Amino acid sequence: MIKGLKSRQVIAVLAVFTLIFSSVVVSISYAQKAKVTILWRDDPDEVPVLDGFIKDFNNTHPDITVEAIIVPYEEYDPKLFSMWAAGTPPDIFWCAAESGYVDHAIRDMNLTLDTLINRDKDILNVKDFYPAAIEGATFRGNIKGLPFAQAYTAIFYNATLFDNAGIKYPTTNWADKSWTWDKLVEVAKKLTRDINGDGKIDQYGLLDTRDLFEIAWAWGGDMFDPDVYKGYPPKKLALDKPGNYNALLTALQKRANLVYKDMVSPTPATEQVIEQMGPPLKTGRLGMVISGDWSIWGAMPKNYKWGIGAVPYSVPNVKKVCLYTDPMEIARTSKHPNEAWEFIKYLSSPSVQKTLMEKTSRISSRQSLRKDYIEKISSSVVNTKQELEQVLSGAFKYCQEDAEHTVFGFYKLQSVWTSETDPLWLGKKGAKEVLDTMIQKVNQAIEENLKNVVK
Amino acid sequence: MKTRMSPMAKKEELYFYLFISPWIIGFLVFTAGPILASLFFSFCNYDVVTPPNWIGLQNYKRLFSDPLFWQSLKVTSYFSLISVPLGIILSLIIALLLNQNIKGLTWFRTIYYMPSVISGVAVALLWMWIFNPEFGILNFLLWELFRIHGPAWLMSEEWVVPALIIMSFWGIGGDIVIYLAGLQGIPTELYEAAEIDGANSFNKFLNITIPMMSPVLLFTLIMGIIGSFQVFTQAYVMTRGGPHYASLFYVLYIYQNAFQFFSMGYASALSWILFIIILALTFMIFKSSPLWVYYESTRER
């Protein structure tokens, strides 16, 4: 009996030792494996694709473990900032929500990547990225992120509605001088119809989703001084310059005219109705949409034909549209910057970019993949491959990176001007009255932003 | 008469603290800590990432010159002033109806309570469709029944708050249940005595039901006011504070400053002002309660 107990004790002691030993071994081997975290938003289209990339990367890189932290969109920035405050930032993050890489850079959150890019320039082939995409990740001359996802601006249209109205599709040539704003409105008028005859319009010619800074660009002005886009915080809006002011004033007036004078665009209330039914273009209630290419992401309804065209000249000789680049950034205080670099390099590699394109029908920041993109979307649009090539070359030529990413404290300024211009879109106030108050209010917000961070 | 504790009692005391310690620790770490921290931050410039720097009373000074602070206060008070009393009256009426002896009563009670079970975001999305100016059932009924062209509701500066007030009645089921419990606690002999004295139903309601229900009314009034000052989900999901700040509720403004603009210091100051406002309102209601709240137990003494 005693003997038996003893042997049991021996076994127990042995078992404990084995347990300790094996856990030490496991933790040593684990310690050798660098754990890299990446903060992502809970997007049902993106997460499965990202998971696939992580799995593939972890399999091919036995010494690195990448782990995704997925949070809802609206919690992305709070999570990023609070993880940072807690001293445990995610190794990789990006402008997934409202704050852009410039907001991160001014707070000294992201690593400057130039040295690493230089080191790996042969594998990386930086020249393959659209120059504008690299520009859209540059802060005061330093590259702060590597492009992962990419979007461009164009006119996306419902070709069936054009056919029904018996009119020609919009041109794909961005340099076509005859393709003007007035021409666009004229086309839109022909596409605007009351289909069921109840006296209410139920098919609109045009929805221009561009933000204020974009329409200021389109009309030859700018809301900000040039160095603001390079990462220097704005001190005030550049709308005290008459050229800029008049450009935006005209732009606002023309936009409001779409709803209340030309009657080709839905009122905000109707626009909300359309948006509740799905992505506006896909509802079939719009002839043309000026927006990022998310208008044609995912599967397109088969009951209509679709097309892509060039954005027209609002004023002669001036053309600038928005480019949307999502650069992946590395936390400045990351414990594994090299491993994080390996992963973002992997994410922007041609093979991963191609998979991303195939799974999400999004364009790549890599110019070498443009042909694949054209191949991919040509089956779902009426345009020829040559026409698509023309649209894309224009979209990447006449573009500048989204101010949301490049202007410090953008989100606050945008929320002010969005609210301040509501009375104009609702047809309650005139463009000039709205613009004058808006400038004053945004300038106040700029001052508050400056007080908040820049010391 | 307190004597030294027996070892048993001491042990029991120890167990007491041991067993409530999860709550105490939770309270200190997750509630009291952040509350105190927010008081400190309200005197600072703080964007979460860079360390806070002390700026004294500047955040509080900024409040008074900030038109959006006043706007959010206006919107919230407007909502509160209408939705709380109306909500109380409506739920009391329904509770009275549900307190009758009729067939299928439990069904009705379930039906009226059911909406309260659904979560805030789902309700908000549902009501977005109800208020939809073109396809919404509300404007459809207004047209079919009264030949009225309904307003654009959530897209209209004038109608957005009334719309949210209408929507707030969706959740009155909770209050109805409380009132029902209160109504059933009123002794029937009071009504019988009144009937013998020749009181009609209105007299009975005014002189028996209301006084006997007044403690319950006090409770729902306070909870209603606190709740209405904390309106967030509806505005966040449905209107984002628009159009043109017409539905910029106070808590939404705090949220924007804290988690979208990362002016954590200013948001903390806003939160403390809200705390003081709610505290003051609650205090005033409590102070006024001896005038209109009837407690049976106090009378008996």
Residue of B nearest to A87 (CA): B49
Strands A204-208 and A286-292: what pairing? parallel
Which residues are CB-contacts of A443 (< 8 A; sequence separation ≥ 6)? A236, A237
Q: Same domain, yes or no, for B100 and B182? A: yes
Please tell me the distance in Å from B246's CA to the nearest CA on chain A.
9
Contact across the interface for B241 and A98, Cβ inside 8 Å: no
Any A CB within 8 A of B128 CB: yes
Q: B155 and A272 in contact by Cβ < 8 A?
A: yes
Which has the closest alpha carbon to A53: A328, A324, A375?
A328
| Chain A contact set for B128 (CB, 8 A) | 276
Cβ separation B133–A423 shorter than 8 A: no
Can you list the positions of beta strands (E) in A145-235?
A: 146-158, 204-208
Residues A399 and A154 sit within 8 Å (Cβ to Cβ): no
Which residue matches tokens 């550049």? A238
Same domain, B105 and B227: yes
* Cβ contact A428–B263 (<8 Å): no
Q: Which of B38, B154, B155 to mutate to test the interface with A (most CBs of A within 10 A)?
A: B155
Specify whether B143 is located in the same domain as B75.
yes
Whether residue B18 lies within 8 A of chain A, CB to CB, comes out as no
* CA–CA gap between residue B46 and residue B266 (Å, rounded): 8
Question: Is any Cβ of chain A less than 8 angstroms from the Cβ of B154?
Answer: yes
Domain encompassing residue B283: 59-300
Residues of A in contact with B129 (CB under 8 A): 276
Residues of A whose CB is below 8 A from B244: 419-420, 422-423, 426
> In this complex, is the C-beta atom of B133 within 8 Å of any C-beta atom belonging to chain A?
yes
CB atoms B259 and A420 under 8 Å: no
Which residue type is seen at B269?
A: A
Q: Does residue B99 form part of some domain?
A: yes
- Give the C-alpha distances (Å, rounded to integers) separating A86 from A104, A108, A452, B34: 16, 16, 20, 14
Question: Which among B174, B179, B41 has a CA at the least distance from the CA of B112?
Answer: B174
A92-94 and A204-208 strand pairing: unpaired
Contacts of A272 in chain B (CB under 8 A): 132, 154-155
C-alpha–C-alpha distance, residues A62 and A342, integer Å: 12
**Do residues A355 and A173 make contact, with C-beta atoms less than 8 angstroms apart?**
no
* Residues whose CB is less than 8 angstroms from the CB of residue A13 and which lie 6 or more positions away in sequence, other chains included: none
- Answer whether A453 sits within 8 Å of B259, measured CB to CB: no
A132, two tokens? 């504008």
What's the CATH number where B276 sits? 1.10.3720.10
The reply to whether B110 and B155 lie within a common domain is yes
Together in a domain, B98 and B246: yes
Judge: B242–A420 Cβ closer than 8 Å, yes or no: no
Please name the residue of chain A whose CA is at the shortest distance from the CA of residue B126.
A276
Is residue B28 in some structural domain? Answer: yes
Contact (CB, 8 A) for A248 and A254 = no
> If DSSP codes are grouped into helix, strand and coil, which group holds residue A125?
coil
Interchain CB distance below 8 Å, B47 and A107? yes
- Best mutation site among A448, A450, A454, A455 for testing chain B: the one with the most B CBs within 10 Å? A448
B152:A269 CB<8 A: yes
Write the DSSP assignment of A22-66 as a string of letters: HHHHHHHHHHHSEEEEEEEE--TTHHHHHHHHHHHHHHH-TTEEE
CB contacts of B253 in chain A (<8 Å) are none
Nearest neighbour of B245 by CB, restricted to A99, A107, A419: A419
Residue B32 placed within a domain: yes
Q: Is residue A257 within 8 Å of residue A425, measured between CB atoms?
A: no
Phi, then psi, of A247 in degrees rounded to 5:
-60, -50
CB within 8 Å: B129 and A269 = no
Residue B259 at interface with chain A, using a CB cutoff of 8 Å: yes
**Which positions in chain A touch B155 (Cβ < 8 Å)?**
267-269, 272, 426
Based on the fold, state whether residues B112 and B20 are members of the same structural domain: no
Contact A415 B260 (CB under 8 A): yes
Residues B108 and B203 grouped into a single domain:
yes
Report CB contact under 8 Å: A84, B49.
yes
Determine the distance in angstroms separating the CA of A324 from the nearest CA of chain B, rounded to an integer.
20
Query: Burial of B163 by CB count in 10 Å (0-12 exposed, 13-18 middle, 19+ buried)?
Result: buried
Q: How many CA atoms lie within 13 A of A415 on its CB side?
A: 18
- Cβ contact, residue pair B154, A270, below 8 Å: no
- Residue B46 belongs to a domain: no
* B3 located within any domain: yes
pLDDT tens for chain B, 301 residues long, are: 556 778 888 999 999 999 999 999 999 999 999 999 999 999 999 999 888 999 999 999 999 999 999 999 999 999 999 999 999 999 999 999 998 888 888 888 888 888 888 878 889 889 998 998 888 899 999 999 999 989 989 999 999 999 999 999 998 999 999 999 999 999 999 999 999 998 898 899 999 999 999 999 999 999 999 999 999 998 999 999 989 999 999 999 999 999 999 999 999 999 999 999 999 999 999 999 988 888 876 554 4
Q: Do B133 and A270 touch (CB under 8 A)?
A: yes
Q: Which domains does chain A have, with CATH numbers?
A: 33-151+325-378 (3.40.190.10), 153-324+390-452 (3.40.190.10)
The one-digit pLDDT tens for each residue of chain A (455 residues) are 444 445 666 566 566 666 665 655 555 555 578 999 999 999 998 999 999 999 999 999 999 999 999 999 999 999 999 999 999 999 999 999 999 999 999 999 999 999 999 999 989 999 999 999 999 999 999 999 999 999 999 999 999 999 999 999 999 999 999 999 999 999 999 999 998 888 888 899 999 999 999 999 999 999 999 999 999 999 999 999 999 999 999 999 999 999 999 999 999 888 988 888 889 999 999 999 999 999 999 889 999 999 999 999 999 999 999 999 999 999 999 999 999 999 999 999 999 999 999 998 899 999 999 999 999 999 999 999 999 999 999 999 999 999 999 999 999 999 999 999 999 999 999 999 999 999 999 999 999 998 876 54
**DSSP track, chain B:** ---PPPHHHHHHHHHHHHHHHHHHHHIIIIIIHHHHHHHHHTTEE--SSSPPEE-TTHHHHHHHH-HHHHHHHHHHHHHHHHHHHHHHHHHHHHHHHHTS--TTHHHHHHHHHGGGGS-HHHHHHHHHHHT-TTT-HHHHHHHHHH------GGG-TTTHHHHHHHHHGGGTHHHHHHHHHHHHTS-HHHHHHHHHTT--HHHHIIIIIHHHHHHHHHHHHHHHHHHHHT--HHIIIIITT-STTTT--HHHHHHIIIIIS--HHHHHHHHHHHHHHHHHHHHHHHHHHHHH---HHHHH-
Number of domains forming the structure of chain B: 2
Q: What angle do CA B239, B243, B248 make, to 5 degrees?
A: 65
* Nearest CA-CA partner of B216 in B175, B188, B187: B175
Predicted pLDDT of residue A23: 59
Chain A residue numbers touching B132 (CB-CB < 8 A)? 272-273, 276
Q: Considering only alpha carbons, which residue of chain B is nearest residue A427?
A: B156
C-beta of residue A306 within 8 angstroms of C-beta of residue A156? yes
- B80 CA to centre of own chain: 9
CA distance B72 to B280: 18
- Say whether residue A14 is in contact with chain B using an 8 A CB cutoff: no
Of B132, B242, B263, the CB nearest to A452: B263
End-to-end CA distance of chain A: give it in Å, rounded: 78
Q: Is B133 among the domain residues?
A: yes
Buried b (16+ CB within 10 A) or exposed e, B263-293: bbbbbbbbbbbbeebeeebeeeeeeebeeeb
The first and second tokens of residue B181, run together, are: 């419990």
Is the CB of B260 less than 8 angstroms away from the CB of A85? Answer: no
pTM of the model: 0.88
H/E stretch holding A94 reads: strand A92-94
Same domain for B148 and B4: no
Residue of B nearest to A420 (CA): B244
**Are B118 and B256 found together in one domain?**
yes
Residue B26 lies in a domain: yes
What do you get for the CA distance between the two ends of chain B, in Å? 26
Scanning A32-91 for CB atoms below 8 A from B yields: 74, 77-78, 81-82, 84-85
Q: Are B28 and B69 within one domain?
A: no
Nearest to B47 among A268, A428, A453 (CB): A453
pLDDT for A451 equals 82
Contact with chain A for residue B155, Cβ under 8 A: yes
Can you tell me the distance from the alpha carbon of B127 to that of B119, in angstroms, rounded to the nearest whole number?
12
* Residue from A440, A225, A187, A229 nearest A322 by CA: A229
Contact B244 A419 (CB under 8 A): yes
pLDDT of residue A305: 96
Q: Is A107's Cβ below 8 Å from some Cβ in B?
A: yes
Q: Can you state the angle between helices A385-397 and A370-378, rounded to 10 degrees?
A: 130
Torsion angle of the four alpha carbons B144, B145, B147, B151, in this order, in degrees rounded to the nearest 10: -80
Contacts of A440 in chain B (CB under 8 A): none
Interface contact flag, A412 B260, Cβ < 8 Å: yes
Token reading at A413: 């300024």
Nearest residue of chain A to residue B130 (CA atoms): A273
B67-98 and B210-229 helices cross at what angle (nearest 10)?
A: 150
Tokens standing for residue B187: 């002794």
Kindly state the tokens that stand for A232. Answer: 């220097």
Domain assignment of residue B200, yes or no: yes
Contact B260 A98 (CB under 8 A): yes
Same structural domain, B198 and B127: yes
Rounded-to-5 percentages of helix, strand, coil across chain A: 55, 15, 30
Contact yes or no for B49 and A78 at CB 8 A:
no
**The predicted structure's pLDDT at residue A311:** 97
**Binary contact (A269, B155; C-beta < 8 A):** yes
β-bridge pairing B53-54 and A306-309: unpaired
Q: Are residues B127 and B14 in the same domain?
A: no
